[in-house]
Structure 1
Amino acid sequence: MDRSEGDMKSVGFFGIFKQSFKTIFSWKKIFAQITVTSILPLTIVFLAHIEISRYLFWKLERNSLLLDTDSYYRLHASATEWLYYVLFKISYFIFLTVFSHLSTAAVVFTIASIYADREIVFRNVMKIIPKVWKRLFVTFVFIYLVLFIYGVIGEVALVITRSILNYSTLGLILTLIIRILYVIGFLYIILVCELASVITVLENTHGYIAMRKGKDLAKGKKKVGMGIAFVLYSFLEGLLVVYRWFVEYGHVNFQLAMVWRVMIGILCGLLVLMFLLLIIVTQTVLYLVCKSFHGEVIDKLSLSTFLRAYMGETVVYPTVGEEIQLGRPQPQQV
Structure 2
Amino acid sequence: MDRGQKEMQFLGFFGIIKESIKIIFTWRKIFSQITLALLLSLSFIIFAYRDISHFLTAKIQHDQRALNHAKADTPKYNKLSNLAISDIIELCLFSVANYIRDLIFSLLSTSTVMYTIACMYTLRSITFGRAINVIQKVGKRLMITLLWSFLALFVYIINIIVTILICYLLFDLIHFPAIGLILVFILLILFLFGLVYVSVILDLAGVISVLEDIYGLQAMYKSKNLIKGKTGISLAIKLLLTIGSMAIHTVFNIFMANGYGSGFLRFGDAVLCFLFLLFGLVTQTMIYLACRSYHDENINKSALLLAE
Instruction: Report the TM range for the smaller structure's normalisation.
Output: 0.7 to 0.9
SS of equivalent to 2:5 = coil
Paired residues of 2:5 and 2:121 also in contact (CA < 8 A): no
Quote the Cα distance in structure 2 between the aligned partners of 1:122 and 1:148: 35
- Structure having the higher helix fraction is 2
Quote the Cα distance in structure 2 between the aligned partners of 1:195 and 1:243: 27
Count of equivalent residues: 298
- 1:85-113 deviations in whole A, cap 9, x for unaligned? 33223212211111111111111111011
Aligned twin of 1:249: 258
Note if 1:143 corresponds to 2:149.
yes
| Residue 123 of structure 1, CA deviation | 1.6
Aligned twin of 1:271: 272
The amino acid of 1:204's aligned partner reads: D
Note if 1:118 corresponds to 2:115.
no
The higher relative CO (CA closer than 8 Å, separation ≥ 6) is in 2
- 1:49-107 deviations in whole A, cap 9, x for unaligned? 55555555565566666544345546544533432333223212211111111111111
Paired residues of 1:243 and 1:264 also in contact (CA < 8 A): no
The amino acid of 1:93's aligned partner reads: Y
| Residue 48 of structure 1, CA deviation | 5.2
Note if 1:191 corresponds to 2:181.
no
Quote the Cα distance in structure 1 between the aligned partners of 2:23 and 2:46: 25
Query: What does 1:8-23 align with in structure 2 at a 5 Å threshold?
Result: 8-23=8-23
Aligned twin of 1:325: none
Paired residues of 1:104 and 1:280 also in contact (CA < 8 A): yes
Q: Mark the CA change 1:170 to 1:279 in structure 2 (over 3 Å): closer, same or farther.
A: same
SS of equivalent to 1:7 = helix
Unaligned runs of 5+ in 2: none
Q: Mark the CA change 1:141 to 1:45 in structure 2 (over 3 Å): closer, same or farther.
A: farther
Quote the Cα distance in structure 1 between the aligned partners of 2:162 and 2:50: 25
- 1:130-180 deviations in whole A, cap 9, x for unaligned? 111111111111122222333333444566677775xx7556545544443
Paired residues of 2:213 and 2:303 also in contact (CA < 8 A): no
Q: What's the TM-score once normalised by structure 1's chain length?
A: 0.78
Note if 1:105 corresponds to 2:111.
yes
Between 275-284 and 125-134, the greater mean CA deviation after superposition:
125-134
Paired residues of 2:114 and 2:285 also in contact (CA < 8 A): yes
| Residue 187 of structure 1, CA deviation | 1.4
Query: What does 1:144-223 align with in structure 2 at a 5 Å threshold?
Result: 144-157=150-163, 173-223=182-232
Q: What's the TM-score once normalised by structure 2's chain length?
A: 0.84
Paired residues of 1:198 and 1:287 also in contact (CA < 8 A): yes
Aligned twin of 1:226: 235
Paired residues of 1:45 and 1:95 also in contact (CA < 8 A): no
Quote the Cα distance in structure 2 between the aligned partners of 1:30 and 1:286: 21
Paired residues of 1:41 and 1:99 also in contact (CA < 8 A): no
